């Protein structure tokens, strides 16, 4: 287990300079190298879907508890969420861990790397807390994919008192900021009337045709929506037999926009597509908008600049912000609306390998993935050093957020 010199937890004894602390946290990450890689690979080899991440949550909290963090499980009413704290004073710097996987393709978003880099950075920062005061906290946040676990945690006050929040994502580019779209889910169902498709077609009401008409209607509006807005869905039920008019169909959609206002406008446009199909076919429409709405990411540029400098000090070239580097939507966007935050990316693949693909899942357990994990942990830890050793750096981050 990683340890470093300094005072005991909760007792501030300033013995190391900023340069010394930066060197020390990097050394501490290196000291954890094998443990962090092992932890990452274990999570990767045992993918768990949102709210089912029992093993990943236990492995992460065991590691943190073994490194003198005070762990609280089940925070925010979510069984696989946790809060792990080292230190007891202000300011409080939070590092976020995600560890849920995707259906069928496992950790094709590299959440095993997100989780391991967060705990590795936090453990490396114990010496910073011992020398500078404050606290570092790891929040284990389940179900980022599709469910938005951070949103109920935010609602329940789990993140109250946090001064700065950071998370890092593996990807194809080294960037300190990234666009994340506002997003809401939509579940739709059509109810028709089943009859023999050849003998009595005129007596049936085709729920599948209603769904197909809806998809076509959605396609017809794509040309007329704003850039970077997105609408995409899948049919989850389309009938049982080719010779029976389908009496039931179902689908799931995601609607995304660059801001909340346009998301609201786009919701109605999308709903019109389904309502029109119901009118055309005679099928009855039922729909449910998700209670969880992903907010757009509010990048704190002062914080991003600190992180970028630290990542570049490790020999990585940080690319300028480009919206097309964005990764879709994340519930970290909701956190960023109330706490100064960043969601940078560290490259583990070339740009031709895409997130949420089988190739990316392989990369998340590769040597390149391990290097990304360790560099991510070091850059996060050095940014904590900046924030806690230089009051003006933290003040700049907060001023930007409140300005």
This prediction has a pTM of 0.90
pLDDT digits (tens, 9 = 90+) for 99-148: 999 999 999 999 999 999 999 999 999 999 999 999 999 999 999 998 99
Q: Which H helix or E strand runs over 390?
A: none
pLDDT digits (tens, 9 = 90+) for 73-91: 999 999 999 999 999 999 9
Q: How far out from the chain centre does Cα 145 lie?
A: 7
Check whether residue 148 and residue 31 sit in a common domain.
yes
Check whether residue 141 and residue 223 sit in a common domain.
no
* Integer Cα distance of 30 and 366 in angstroms: 18
Check whether residue 113 and residue 66 sit in a common domain.
yes
Q: Which H helix or E strand runs over 166?
A: strand 164-166
Q: Which backbone phi and psi does 348 adopt, to 5 degrees?
A: -125, -5
* Integer Cα distance of 135 and 90 in angstroms: 6
Check whether residue 68 and residue 192 sit in a common domain.
no
Helix and strand numbers (H, E) in the chain are: 13, 12
Residue 13, pLDDT > 70, answer no
Task: Judge whether 281 and 257 are in contact, CB under 8 Å.
Answer: no
Task: Judge whether 380 and 387 are in contact, CB under 8 Å.
Answer: no
- Tokens 């925070």 -> residue: 75
How many domains would you assign to the chain?
2
pLDDT digits (tens, 9 = 90+) for 249-284: 999 999 999 999 999 999 999 999 999 999 999 999
Q: Which residues pair with 345 in a beta bridge?
A: 169, 175
**DSSP, residue by residue, 276-337:** HHHHHH-PEEEEEEEEEEEPPP-B-HHHHHHHHHHHHTTTPPPPPP-GGG--S--THHHHHT
In a domain, 1, yes or no: no
Check whether residue 273 and residue 308 sit in a common domain.
no
Check whether residue 232 and residue 162 sit in a common domain.
no
In a domain, 383, yes or no: yes
| Predicted local confidence at residue 324, as pLDDT | 56
Check whether residue 250 and residue 275 sit in a common domain.
yes
In a domain, 271, yes or no: yes
Check whether residue 211 and residue 247 sit in a common domain.
yes
In a domain, 6, yes or no: no
Check whether residue 149 and residue 186 sit in a common domain.
no
Write the CATH number for 133: 3.40.630.10
Task: Judge whether 112 and 43 are in contact, CB under 8 Å.
Answer: yes
In 337-381, beta strands by DSSP E = 341-342, 345-347
The one-character DSSP state at 222 is G
Check whether residue 160 and residue 42 sit in a common domain.
yes
At residue 205 the predicted structure's pLDDT band, cuts being 50, 70 and 90, is: very high
In a domain, 317, yes or no: yes
Range of the structural domain that residue 374 is part of = 18-180+297-402
Cα–Cα distance list, 108 to 46, 195, 204, 294 (Å): 13, 42, 42, 20
Check whether residue 144 and residue 272 sit in a common domain.
no
Which of 294, 312, 331 is the last residue in one of the domains?
294
In a domain, 13, yes or no: no
């Amino acid at each position: 287990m990683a340890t470093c010199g300094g005072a005991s937890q909760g007792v501030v004894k300033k013995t190391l300079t900023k340069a010394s602390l930066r060197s020390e946290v990097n050394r501490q990450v290196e000291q954890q190298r094998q443990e962090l890689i092992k932890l990452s690979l274990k999570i990767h080899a045992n993918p768990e879907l949102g709210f089912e991440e029992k093993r990943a949550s236990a492995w992460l909290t065991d590691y943190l508890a073994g490194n003198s963090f005070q762990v609280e499980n089940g925070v925010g009413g979510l069984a696989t969420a946790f809060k792990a704290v080292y230190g007891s004073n202000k300011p409080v710097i939070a590092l976020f861990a995600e560890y849920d996987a995707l259906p069928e393709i496992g950790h094709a978003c590299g959440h095993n790397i997100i989780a391991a880099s967060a705990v590795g950075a936090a453990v490396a920062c114990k010496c910073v807390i011992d020398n500078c005061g404050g606290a570092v906290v790891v929040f284990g946040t389940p179900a980022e994919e599709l469910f938005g676990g951070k949103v109920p945690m935010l609602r329940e006050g789990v993140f109250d008192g946090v001064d700065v929040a950071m998370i890092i994502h593996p990807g194809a580019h080294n960037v300190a900021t990234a666009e994340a779209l506002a997003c809401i889910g939509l579940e739709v169902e059509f109810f028709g009337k089943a009859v023999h498709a050849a003998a009595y077609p005129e007596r049936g009401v085709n729920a599948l045709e209603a769904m197909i008409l809806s998809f076509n209607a959605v396609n017809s509006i794509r040309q007329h929506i704003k850039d970077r807005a997105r609408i995409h869905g899948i049919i989850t039920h389309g009938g049982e037999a080719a010779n029976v008019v389908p009496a039931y169909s179902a689908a799931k959609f995601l609607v995304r926009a660059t801001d909340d206002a346009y998301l609201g406008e786009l919701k109605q446009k999308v709903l019109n597509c389904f309502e029109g199909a119901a009118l055309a076919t005679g099928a009855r429409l039922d729909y449910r908008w998700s209670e969880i709405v992903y907010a757009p990411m509010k990048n704190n540029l002062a914080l991003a600049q600190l992180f970028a400098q630290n990542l570049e000090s490790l020999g990585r070239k940080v690319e300028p912000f480009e919206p097309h580097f964005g990764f879709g939507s994340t519930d970290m966007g909701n956190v960023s609306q109330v706490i100064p935050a960043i969601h940078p990316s560290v490259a583990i693949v070339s740009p031709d390998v895409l997130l949420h693909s089988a190739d990316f899942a392989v990369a998340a357990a590769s040597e390149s993935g391990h290097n990304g994990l360790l560099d991510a942990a070091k850059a996060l830890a050095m940014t904590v050093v900046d924030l806690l050793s230089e009051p003006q750096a933290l003040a700049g981050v907060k001023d930007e957020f409140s300005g």
